[in-house]
Structure 1
Amino acid sequence: MRTTRTARRLLAGIVATALVGVGLVGCASSGGDSSDGKTFTIWQYEAKDSAQYQSWRDAVTTFKEKHPDVDVKLVSTSFDNMQKNAKLLLTGNKVPDVVEVNKGNADAGQLASQGLIENLDPQVQKYGWDEKVKGAMSSLARYDRNGNAGSGSWYGVPNIGEVIVWFYNKDAFAKAGITEAPTTMDELERDMQTFKDQGTTPVASGANAFGALWTWYSLVSAKADRKLIDNYMFLKGSPSLDSGAFAEGTEQFQQWIDKGYLGSKLAGVTGDQMDATWLSGKSPLIVEDSAAFNRFKADAKFDWGTFTLPGASLNAGSSGHLWAVPTKSGNKELAYDWINTTLSSQVQNAIGKRAGLPLAGDPSVISDPQTKALTQQFADVVDKDQISFFPDYPVPGLLDFQQSGMQAMVNKTKTADEFTKELQAFYSKGKKQVDG
């Protein structure tokens, strides 16, 4: 089954605190209510087969060696339970000592503005976390007094990131007479045209998933700059979405549709169907989240590689979820040391070897060539501060609007100009509602 994008929620909105599941509250007795330093409780919601969870298990061993008298409890819950019930948990009598929370205004931002998680500025300075979590990777870790992301104090610390990349079938490229991955936009378009001329749909895509959306936003990001994207994401100023980079990227996306680079009848294609098309070898390229890497590595029967969009100014992607320290934590110093442990080279490199895209890892220690290449590509983007986040972050309802627009564009019932004008109107209305 395809990994869903449950972890990426809209930045704007209200934290849901109604009790809709028993998992989180039912385990509340495991909370870290001791302040004697003898019991230390960590709450997290990553899947147990994920690079983060497996590496955090390693981190627990290291942490115990540093604190042999401490009973460390690594408690797992679900993302949905934590997202819906975080406020209820953190205002209770038994809270974890350190907790994983979702990034964004609706979650970490609300918890910060309500005083439920600690301001980590002193610890960032003490441990130098800002030297490891840099540029845009820190944007969703920082919130102002109103809980708005992008500036202000640190209230959380991510361990990993994600990036949208192009997966390509090396065997299919060689068969088509293409000897290496494209390094410029012109080369990419030339390669796609080569496949199209040979009767092959170049890119496996779908508008009933994220393929078309990520392709569109990648083309927008390629032409954008840091100021435009930060203004768009963090509701600053009046970013233009019907001219400049957004209009140019959308026009190029429409050209790709018209040329057949993404195929036809895409409106109803799901993520699983899109992935299956690439894995079957029917299309040599696919635009996917880096989270698909391990699934593709397990299932692909051909030689393949990855590359970021050639010549792009910025690349779609984001930081991961955040470690936060509850205000009512009884063992805050241990919590800070835990966060520091997860940012250590030992743990970060363990994440990297498992293809988890660490924020402070060293790609050179990775032996698997595909994993090493992806990790280096991500590291290069981060080092150049070229992450543009994801297009549905800024205002409520934007994801549904954008995906509906993608479906209309691939069906050719809406032009690039019509879409960007409607996008501008939707965004401006949503921004006014968020701003109050």
Structure 2
Amino acid sequence: MARITRKNARRGLAAIGALTVGAVALAGCAGGGSSDGGDGDTLKLWHYEGADSAMGKAWAEAIEIFEEETGATVEFEEKSFEQIQKTASQVLDTDAAPDLMEFNKGNATAGFLASTGLISDLGDAVEEYGWEDKLAPSLQTTAKYSEDGVMGGDTWYGIPNYGEFVGVYYNLDAFEEADLEIPTTYDEFVDVLDAFVAQGVTPLAEAGAEYPLGQLWYQLALTEGDRQFVNDYQLYENPVDWQGDEITYATETLQEYVDKGYIASDVSSVKAEDAGVSFINGTAPIFVSGSWWFGRFVAEATGFDWTMTAFPGTDLSLGSSGNLWVVPENAANKELAYEFIDITMRPEIQAIIGNNGGVPVAADSADITDEKSKLLIDTFNGILEADGLSFYPDWPAPGFYDVIVQELQGLVTGTQDAATTNENLGAQYEEGTEEYR
């Protein structure tokens, strides 16, 4: 039976109301089962990537290779993100559980399933297939959990085969027209913002009603932080000082961004889609956001030339592995699941991800033929080499996403100052992370 403690039960109840960038899944008891695979066997696979997405294309090819090499059949059930979220608690402890499924990384999601025994310890498969050698340390953090479901633990419960990060998108035509260069330091970045404002342009596409503003706030904290700050904030290694240098700088600087006109005065009501569209249509020349926009910009931001870099002036960037392959404890064909995971880690499958706007974790750069995609992947690899992936600001506690949005809205609308914002954020963080620390 699954290990369900009172602490884990409370975590599950708290997670129900969490509005995070990812989804939250609740779960019950789990059994076990496995098969050696072979002709006549079936791999039951769930994932929620669109057929035209980078991962969807790559995994479709992986299915063909898998069926040809193993003689087994893949029974793929098309699920939405929400369907997997809602059905996980109902099916993972039954014979209807899939053998392999895509699931969201993080404490309140994959971590919760790990802590309740609903997904399998993948340690033996990691060793057998050598996946550890293909995944940078910061990618491994989201794949490994403690017995209480906190990421960065000792046990492998998932395998990512793509990544994501937050960088800076620049409209090169707008920069040329303004006689400006792409910044390589943070001071140059601020100079560029000032130059655009002086020319009557609001430079940053931003959204205070959803995740982008909170991600910019955290990125500003990272410019003053180091890996220990990230580990304290995300992994609870030490108490976080909510009036300390990193967070105080981030909150005060974000307020300055609004006061100086770097961000529109109505940012608190703007949604992520609106911010992205303002970059696509050329209204805003700079957008600090994630690699998940990259493919869309390739397709839609065609009226001007653009590029993307890591945020200047720091080795630390928001980002993580992508979602995880997890194997339910009650899966009937675990060995087949491991074989399929391994195929998705092969260079030819990783190249499909990379050449279609995704961010592969184990691609051979020589296999990436699309120029813009190569730029994206090289930027990501540079962040990995610097051990720079620093996760996302709302990850430490279920529901903290809403808290960040609300408190930063109060900051940018002027209803509260930076110190009050930090105090409120800190109080909610401490309450939300108490059971993890």
TM-score by length of 1: 0.89
User: Would the aligned equivalents of 1:165 and 1:309 in 2 still touch at CA under 8 Å?
Assistant: yes
Q: State the alpha-carbon separation in 2 of the partners of residues 73 and 227 from structure 1.
A: 44
User: 1:286 Cα deviation (Å)?
Assistant: 1.0
Question: Does the Cα contact within 8 Å between 2:169 and 2:287 map onto a contact in 1?
Answer: yes
- What corresponds to 1:131 in structure 2? 133
Write the letter of the residue equivalent to 1:405: E
Q: Which amino acid aligns with 2:393?
A: P
> Where in structure 2 are the equivalents of 1:356-435 lying within 5 Å?
356-434=358-436
- After TM superposition, list the pairs within 5 Å mapping 1:296-311 onto structure 2: 296-300=297-301, 301-311=303-313
Q: Offset of 1:213 from its aligned partner?
A: 1.6
1:433 to partner: Cα distance? 4.8
> Cα–Cα, structure 1 residues 380 and 248, in superposed 2: closer, same or farther, change >3 Å?
same
Pairing of 1:183-332 with structure 2 (within 5 A): 183-300=184-301, 301-332=303-334
- Is the CA contact 2:318–2:390 (under 8 Å) kept in the aligned structure 1? yes
Structure 1 equivalent of residue 58 of structure 2:
55
Residues 1:173 and 2:187 aligned together = no
Return the alpha-carbon distance in structure 2 between the equivalents of residues 177 and 102 of structure 1. Answer: 43
Structure 2 equivalent of residue 39 of structure 1: 42
Q: Distance in 1 between matches of 2:423 and 2:367?
A: 47
Query: How far apart are the structure 2 equivalents of 1:127 and 1:192?
Result: 48
For 1:29-108, list aligned pairs within 5 A: 37=38, 38-67=41-70, 69-108=71-110
Residue 8 of structure 1: which of 22, 30, 36 is its match? 22
Please tell me whether the aligned partners of residues 35 and 330 of structure 1 are also in contact (alpha carbons under 8 angstroms).
no
Q: Secondary structure at the match of 1:267?
A: helix
Distance apart, 1:115 and its partner CA: 2.3
**Residue deviations 1:347-406, cap 9 Å, x none?**
111101111101111334323222211111111112221011110111122111111122
| 5+ long unaligned stretches in structure 1 | 19-31
Letter in 2 for 1:332: K
Q: Secondary structure at the match of 2:325?
A: strand
My pick for the range that moved more, 359-368 or 76-85, is 359-368
In 2 relative to 1, CA 253–6 (structure 1 residues): closer, same or farther, beyond 3 Å? closer
- The answer to whether the 8 A contact 1:33-1:96 is kept is no
Cα displacement (A) at 1:104? 2.1
Residue identity (%): 36
Unaligned runs of 5+ in 2: 1-18
Structure 1 residues 6 and 373: alpha-carbon distance in aligned structure 2, compared to 1, 3 A threshold: same
1:288 alignment partner, SS class = strand
Q: Deviations over 1:120-168 (max 9, x none)?
A: 1112122221111221111111111122221120011011111111111
8 Å contact 2:166–2:319 — kept in the other structure? yes
In 2, Cα distance between the equivalents of 1:211 and 1:107? Answer: 21
TM-score between the two structures when normalised by the length of structure 2:
0.89
Alignment partners' CA distance in 1, 2:435 and 2:117: 24
Match of 2:114 in 1: 112
Quick check: 1:224–1:313 contact (8 Å CA) kept in 2?
no
Rounded to whole Å, the distance in 2 between the matches of 1:403 and 1:362 is 39
Deviation at 1:17, TM superposition (A): 5.0
For residues 246-294 of structure 1, the C-alpha deviation after alignment (integer angstroms, 9 at most, x for no partner) is 2222222222222111121211112222222222222211112211111
The aligned amino acid for 1:230 is: N
CA distance in 2, matches of 1:374, 1:141: 23
**What is the distance in 2 between the residues matched to 1:36 and 1:286?**
47
Cα distance in 2 for residues equivalent to 1:360 and 1:372: 13
* Letter matched to residue 251 of structure 1: E
Cα distance in 1 for residues equivalent to 2:150 and 2:336 = 28
Structure 1 range deviating more: 233-242 or 333-342: 233-242
Distance, in Å, in 1 between the alignment partners of 2:37 and 2:182 is: 57
Distance 1:50 1:7 in 2: 19
Partners of 2:37 and 2:320 in 1: CA distance: 37
Deviation at 1:434, TM superposition (A): 4.9
C-alpha separation between the residues in 2 aligned to 1:206 and 1:321?
A: 24
Equivalent of 1:149, from 148, 151, 176? 151
Taking a change above 3 Å as real, the CA distance of residues 211 and 115 of structure 1, as seen in their structure-2 partners, is: closer
Q: Secondary structure at the match of 2:109?
A: helix
**Using a 3 Å threshold, how does the CA distance of structure 1 residues 390 and 155 change in structure 2: closer, same or farther?**
same
Query: 1:345-356 alignment to 2 at 5 Å?
Result: 345-356=347-358
Identify if the C-alpha distance between structure 1 residues 34 and 96 changes in structure 2 by more than 3 Å, giving closer, same or farther.
farther
Alpha-carbon shift at residue 36 of structure 1 (Å): 6.0
Bigger mean CA offset, 157-166 vs 247-256: 247-256
Cα deviation, 1:180-237, whole Å, max 9, x if unaligned, reads 3111001111111111111111111121122322211111122211122122112333
Cα pair 2:222 2:317 within 8 Å, conserved: yes
Contact 2:20 2:401 in 1 (8 A): no
| Counterparts in 2 of 1:6 and 1:110: CA distance versus 1, 3 Å | closer
C-alpha change, 1:7 and 1:146, in structure 2 (3 Å) is same
CA shift for structure 1 position 9: 4.1
- How far apart are the structure 2 equivalents of 1:34 and 1:73? 16
- SS of residue paired to 1:385: coil
Which one is further off, 159-168 or 93-102?
93-102
Query: After the TM superposition, which residues 9-24 of structure 1 pair with which residues of structure 2 at under 5 Å, given as runs?
Result: 9=23, 15-16=25-26
**Is the contact between residue 66 and residue 72 of structure 2 (CA under 8 Å) also seen in structure 1?**
no
* Contact map agreement 1:164 1:317 (CA 8 A) in 2: yes
Q: Structure 2 vs 1, CA of residues 311 and 280 (structure 1 numbering), >3 Å: closer, same or farther?
A: same
Query: In the alignment, residue 320 of structure 1 is paired with which amino acid?
Result: G
SS at match of 2:200: coil
Deviations along 1:307-350, one digit per CA (max 9) or x if unpaired, are 11112131011211111122222222221111111111111111
